[in-house]
Amino acid sequence: MKLSNLSPKQLIEIDACTRCGECLNYCPIYAQKDEEDIDPRGKIQAFKAFIRSQYGLWARIFGPKKLDEEKLKKFSEMVYRCTLCGECSISCPVSIDAKNLWLALRETLAEMGHYPKAAERLKANVLEAHNISGDESDERVDWLEFLDELPDDRYQKEKAEVAYFVGCVASYFPLVQKIPQAFVEILGKAGVDFTLLGGEEWCCGFPLIGAGMKKEAKALIQHNVEMMKKKGVKRAVFACPSCYHTWMEAYDTDIEIFHSTQFIKELINEGKITFKEQKRKVTYHDPCDLGRASGVYEPPREILRAIPGVELIEMESNRERCKCCGGGGNLEMVDPELSAALAHEKIEEIRATGADTVITSCQQCIRTIMTTARRKKIPIKAMDITEFVLSAMT
């Protein structure tokens, strides 16, 4: 077992775990499964045992033990059965950045061939078709056909200052195509000089990084930056928090990066977006990749407060303590039932607020919440903030 995917800091973090169990109080997977092996503490201890068997004192004297394939398989199942929500990272009293540790462990396991079978198809789709669904690249902007009015350039200019990077899920999955449909209308109404990359947009690389295949994402990253540069883009906007976070963390570029909530807030401040009154009681769900991972908590709340008549009721767990919807970390691909169980918990928390609508800023959160709600016939309305903003604009 190679440890080259782990930084010296991460190796120290593994050793620093005091087994206090504070993370058990916050891990949503442990709350569902109640298994010690699946919680952050259990995973760190299991990995420590692997390290000891390979690099410990006895291993140095007598040579490393042969790795137990069954134990590795079980460990891999535990490491991939996680939404990468990051609550363990913020709850750790000794500041172990557990979320990034899980990513490094996934990378190590993937290199050893211990990763979920479903990730194989995901990898093939992303590397061959450059999107997660395996559909044709020129279908990436099919959602435009649903718009009432479409400019001649179909929002795909040769040059523009701003590019809206749509992301695979909002491009290909009809349940959330209202997000790009709403966002291009908002940008158009606000007079922003923007373009889409159209069929030239490739997956940002997030699904591969989440699956432990970070090295495979390099070509995607290089391509996307080149396409932005070709169009002279200075500012890139993302309605998908995972694309946004990936660009912030894994892309080396001088292009300014914005999430749609930050960009909309700026347009409101500049007076380019104004609202009519809405009599609505709403609550807000913080997507993990926007909140805990990127620290963007206030712009969406400031937008909602800027709409007259909107009453924002916070959920019991909000901001850095917001509970994951169950849609993160490729969990749905690995264990759809577990993902749905988390979504059900989230729905109950939303309903407890008494709000008529849950607003969020992530297509995957909408899909996870709405898929579970519709399957279970729970009457709940989830909207992306872009749709909500468009419906309230004058």
Partner 1 sequence: MDIEGYEFPEGLYYEQNHFWARVEGDLVVMGMSDYAQKMAGDIVYVGLPPEGKKLTQGKSFTKLESGKWLGKVFAVVSGELVEVNEELEEDAKLINEDPYGKGWMFKIKPDNMDEIKNLMTDPGEIQEWLKKEIAEHGKA
Q: CA 144, 147, 150 angle in degrees (round to 5)?
A: 75
Comparison of 149 and 158: residue with beta carbon closer to partner 1: 149
**Residue 285, beta-bridge partner list:** 360
Among the listed ranges 69-77, 227-235, 284-292, 328-336, the one in contact with partner 1 (CB under 8 A) is 328-336
Q: Which residues contact 336 (CB under 8 A, 6 or more apart)?
A: none
Write down the least CB distance from residue 347 to partner 1, Å. Answer: 14
In three-state secondary structure terms, 140 is: coil
Residue tagged 């450059």 (tokens)? 130
| Coil, helix or strand at residue 326 | coil
Closest to partner 1 by CB, 92 vs 324, is: 324
Calpha distance 263→78 (Å, rounded):
38
Q: Is 146 in the site for partner 1 (CB under 8 A)?
A: yes
Q: How far is the CB of 280 from partner 1 (least distance, A)?
A: 18
The number of angstroms, rounded, from the C-alpha of 333 to the middle of its chain's C-alpha atoms is: 14
Query: Applying CB under 8 A, which of residues 89, 171, 360, 371 lies at the interface with partner 1?
Result: 371
CB of 367 vs partner 1, minimal distance in Å: 8
H or E element that contains 195? strand 194-196
Q: Is 338 in the site for partner 1 (CB under 8 A)?
A: no
Least Å distance, CB 174 to partner 1, is 3
Binders of partner 1 among residues 171 to 190 (CB under 8 A) are: 172-175, 177
CB-wise, 139 or 302, nearer to partner 1? 139
Contact region with partner 1 (CB under 8 A), list: 66-74, 170-178, 250-258, 294-302: 170-178
One-letter amino acid of 181: Q
Near partner 1 by CB under 8 A, which window of 60-68, 96-104, 348-356, 374-382? 374-382
User: For residues 359 and 245, is the Cβ–Cβ distance under 8 A?
Assistant: no
Q: Is 374 in the site for partner 1 (CB under 8 A)?
A: yes
We find the least distance from the C-beta atom of residue 182 to partner 1, in angstroms, to be 15
145 binds partner 1 per the rule CB under 8 A: yes
b or e along 208-240 (b: 16 or more beta carbons within 10 Å of the residue's beta carbon)?
bbbbbbbebbeebbebbbebbeebebebbbbbb
Min separation Cβ 135 and partner 1, Å:
8
Radius of gyration of the chain (CA): 22
**CA count, 13 A, side-chain hemisphere, 249:** 19
Distance CA 49, CA 205 (A): 31
CB 374, min distance to partner 1, A: 5
Cβ proximity to partner 1: between 76 and 371 the closer is: 371
- Residue 177 vs 318, nearer CB to partner 1: 177
> Interacting stretch for partner 1, rule CB under 8 A, among 21-29, 246-254, 298-306, 373-381?
373-381
Between 318 and 371, CB nearer to partner 1: 371
| Binding region for partner 1 (CB under 8 A) out of 19-27, 166-174, 188-196, 302-310 | 166-174
The tokens for 375 are 């399957």
Q: How far apart are CA 321 and CA 57, in angstroms?
A: 41
Closest CA to 338 of 324, 320, 350: 324
Q: What is the rounded CA–CA span in Å between residue 73 and residue 117?
A: 12
* Distance in Å, CB of 139 to partner 1, minimum: 9
To the nearest 5 percent, what fractions of the chain are helix, strand and coil? 55, 10, 35
* CA–CA dist 224, 201 (Å, integer): 6
Q: Does 38 help bind partner 1 (rule: CB under 8 A)?
A: no
Which helix (H) or strand (E) element contains residue 304? helix 298-306
Show contacts with partner 1 in window 287-316 (CB under 8 A): none
375 lines the binding site for partner 1 (CB under 8 A): yes
Encoded tokens for 354: 């008494």
Residue 364 Cβ vs partner 1, minimum distance, rounded to whole Å: 11
Which residues 85-144 are close enough to bind partner 1 by CB under 8 A? Answer: 133, 135
User: CB-wise, 81 or 301, nearer to partner 1?
Assistant: 81
The count of residues interacting with partner 1 (CB under 8 A) is 18
Q: Say whether residue 378 binds partner 1 (CB under 8 A).
A: no
Binding site for partner 1 (CB under 8 A): 133, 135, 145-146, 148, 172-175, 177, 332-333, 336, 370-371, 374-375, 377
